[in-house]
C-alpha cells in the first residue's frame, strides 16, 4: 500500500503514478483493482446446476447439524450419484460483522465454522453453497453484502464455498445490473470458482442483461407447494407450479449452457400429490431450470426419492445441447412441450392442466414441428422415431398415433430416438 492514499472506500489515488486507480481497499489492507472486463467462471453450470437448498423446508432453522446430515443423505439416497452436487444454505446463517467488517457465521448455529463445514461437505464429494443479498440486509434481516462485496467474496473463497445465491431485498435505489456485476467481479477476483445464482425474481428482466454476469437468474417470485395457486403475502406473492410455468413465456431464447432461466427451487416432497410432484419435476427438467431440491431429503418417502432420482428425466435436463423446451401445442387443457436433444433425439412432454383425466390421440404425422428460435425441426412424415416413456418404460414409435390417458395434474414424458433407415 506504499504511495496510496485512501480518499473514499472505493477510490485510491496513486501518488507516484499521478492518476486515479479504481480499486477496493479491504479491511485486511488489500487493494484489489476493479475489473471492468471481468468474467464469471465460464466452466461452471455448463448444464443446469443440481443440488439442494434449505429454505423451502427449513427457512431460518438452519445449523451445521442439518447441513452435515443433508450431505450424508444426499449420498445415501442416491441423489449424489444421480447428479446432485450442491448443498446450499439459504438465509439466516449469518452472525455479525467483526470489527474489520468481515462477515461471520452464527456461532451457535455453526460452532465449528463455515470452513470446517465446507471441508465436511467436500469430503462427501459434494459442494457447499451459501446465501447473501445485494442490499443492506438479507430478506430475513441479516447483514447484506452492499459495500462489502469484495470482502465477502474473499471470505467465501477462504471458507471453501462453491455456490452463491444472491438475493434482492433491501435494495432501494440500487441498480441491479451494477449490483450483480460488482459481486460477479468480486467472486472472480477472489479466485475460487463459485457458481453465481442471481435471485432478483425477474423484476428487472435479468434474462436480457445477465448472461455474462450470473450462471442462472430467477424468472419469478418464490415458489409455493401447490399446483395452481397464488399465495399473497401482501406486497408480494408466492406461486404454484402452473403459475410459474406460465411466466416462462418468451424466455427460452435467453437460456443456454452457462446461463439458465431459474424457475426456483423445487417443492417435490413438500405436500403436493405424487402426480403433481412428477409433473413439477418433469417440467423443470424440460425447461432446463436448475434442479434444486427443497424438501427434507433426510426423511423423504421412497416415492419422492424415486422422482428426484429419475435419471432418464435428469438426463433430459442435463443434455449437452442445452436447448430449453418449446411449447409445441396448447389446447388450454393439454399442453405439449418439445425439447431437442443431442444426437438428433427429442423429449416430448404431455401436460394435463385440468381437474379431470383426459384422453388424447396425438397423430405424429399431422403435426410438423419447427423451432424457429434454435432452428430445429421434425417432419414426422419423413423422419421416424422410436420412443420410451421416461416414467413407465413403455415403448413405441411414431409410425402410429399415440393414444394417452393422462390423470389430472399429471404428465407423460417420452424420449424419441431416430430410427435407422
CA pair distance 302, 109, nearest whole angstrom? 30
**H/E run at residue 242:** helix 241-246
One of 90, 152, 162, 167 is an active-site residue; which one?
A: 167
DSSP letter for each residue of 24-75: EE-TTS-EEE--TT----TTS-SS--EEEESHHHHTT---HHHHHHHHHHHH
Does the active-site annotation cover 363?
no
DSSP letter for each residue of 355-369: SS-EEEEE-GGG--E
Query: Beta strands 346-352 and 358-362: pairing type?
Result: unpaired
Identify the residue whose cell numbers are 430467477: 218
Q: Residue 378 in contact with residue 384, Cβ under 8 Å?
A: no
Does the active-site annotation cover 167?
yes
One of 63, 133, 152, 222 is an active-site residue; which one?
A: 222
Q: In this structure, which long-range contacts are made by residues 19-27, counting pairs with CB atoms below 8 Å and at least 24 apart in sequence?
A: 24/150, 24/186, 26/150, 26/151, 26/154, 27/100, 27/101, 27/102, 27/151
DSSP letter for each residue of 317-355: HT-TT-PPPEEEEE-SSEEEEEEE-GGG-EEEEEEE-SS
CA pair distance 70, 243, nearest whole angstrom? 29
Catalytic residues: 167, 222
Amino acid at each position: 500500500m506504499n504511495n496510496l492514499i485512501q480518499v473514499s472506500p472505493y477510490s485510491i489515488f496513486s501518488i507516484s503514478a499521478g492518476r486515479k486507480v479504481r480499486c477496493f481497499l479491504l479491511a485486511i489492507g488489500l487493494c484489489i483493482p476493479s475489473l471492468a472486463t471481468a468474467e464469471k467462471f465460464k466452466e461452471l453450470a455448463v448444464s443446469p446446476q443440481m443440488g439442494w437448498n434449505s429454505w423451502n423446508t427449513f427457512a431460518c432453522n438452519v445449523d451445521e447439524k442439518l447441513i452435515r446430515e443433508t450431505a450424508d443423505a444426499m449420498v445415501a439416497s442416491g441423489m449424489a450419484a444421480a447428479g446432485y452436487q450442491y448443498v446450499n444454505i439459504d438465509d439466516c446463517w449469518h452472525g455479525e460483522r467483526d470489527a474489520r467488517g468481515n462477515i461471520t457465521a452464527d456461532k451457535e448455529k455453526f460452532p465449528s465454522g463455515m470452513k470446517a463445514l465446507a471441508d465436511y461437505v467436500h469430503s462427501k464429494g459434494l459442494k457447499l453453497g451459501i446465501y447473501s443479498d445485494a442490499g443492506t440486509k438479507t430478506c430475513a434481516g441479516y447483514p447484506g453484502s452492499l459495500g462489502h462485496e469484495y470482502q465477502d467474496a474473499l471470505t467465501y473463497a477462504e471458507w471453501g464455498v462453491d455456490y452463491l445465491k444472491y438475493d434482492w431485498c433491501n435494495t432501494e435505489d440500487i441498480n441491479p445490473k451494477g449490483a450483480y456485476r460488482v459481486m460477479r467481479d468480486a467472486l472472480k477476483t477472489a479466485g475460487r470458482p463459485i457458481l453465481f445464482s442471481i435471485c432478483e425474481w425477474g423484476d428487472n428482466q435479468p434474462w436480457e442483461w445477465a448472461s455474462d454476469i450470473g450462471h442462472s437468474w430467477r424468472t419469478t417470485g418464490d415458489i409455493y407447494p401447490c399446483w395452481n395457486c397464488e399465495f399473497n403475502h401482501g406486497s408480494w406473492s408466492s406461486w404454484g407450479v402452473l403459475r410459474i410455468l406460465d411466466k416462462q413465456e418468451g424466455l427460452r431464447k435467453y437460456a443456454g449452457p452457462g446461463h439458465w432461466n431459474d424457475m426456483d427451487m423445487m417443492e417435490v416432497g413438500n405436500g403436493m400429490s405424487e402426480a403433481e410432484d412428477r409433473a413439477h419435476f418433469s417440467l423443470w427438467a424440460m425447461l432446463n431450470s436448475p434442479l434444486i431440491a427443497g424438501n427434507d431429503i433426510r426423511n423423504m418417502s421412497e416415492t419422492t426419492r424415486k422422482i428426484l432420482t429419475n435419471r432418464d428425466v435428469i438426463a433430459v435436463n442435463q443434455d449437452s445441447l442445452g436447448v430449453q423446451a418449446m411449447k409445441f401445442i396448447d389446447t388450454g387443457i393439454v399442453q405439449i412441450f418439445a425439447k431437442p436433444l443431442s444426437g438428433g433425439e427429442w423429449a416430448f412432454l404431455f401436460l394435463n392442466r385440468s381437474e379431470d383425466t383426459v384422453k388424447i390421440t396425438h397423430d405424429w404425422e399431422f403435426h410438423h414441428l419447427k423451432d424457429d428460435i434454435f432452428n430445429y425441426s421434425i417432419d414426422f412424415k419423413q423422419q421416424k422415431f422410436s420412443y420410451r416413456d421416461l416414467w413407465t418404460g413403455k415403448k413405441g414409435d411414431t409410425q402410429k398415433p399415440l393414444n394417452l390417458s393422462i390423470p389430472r395434474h399429471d404428465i407423460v414424458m417420452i424420449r424419441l430416438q431416430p430410427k435407422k433407415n
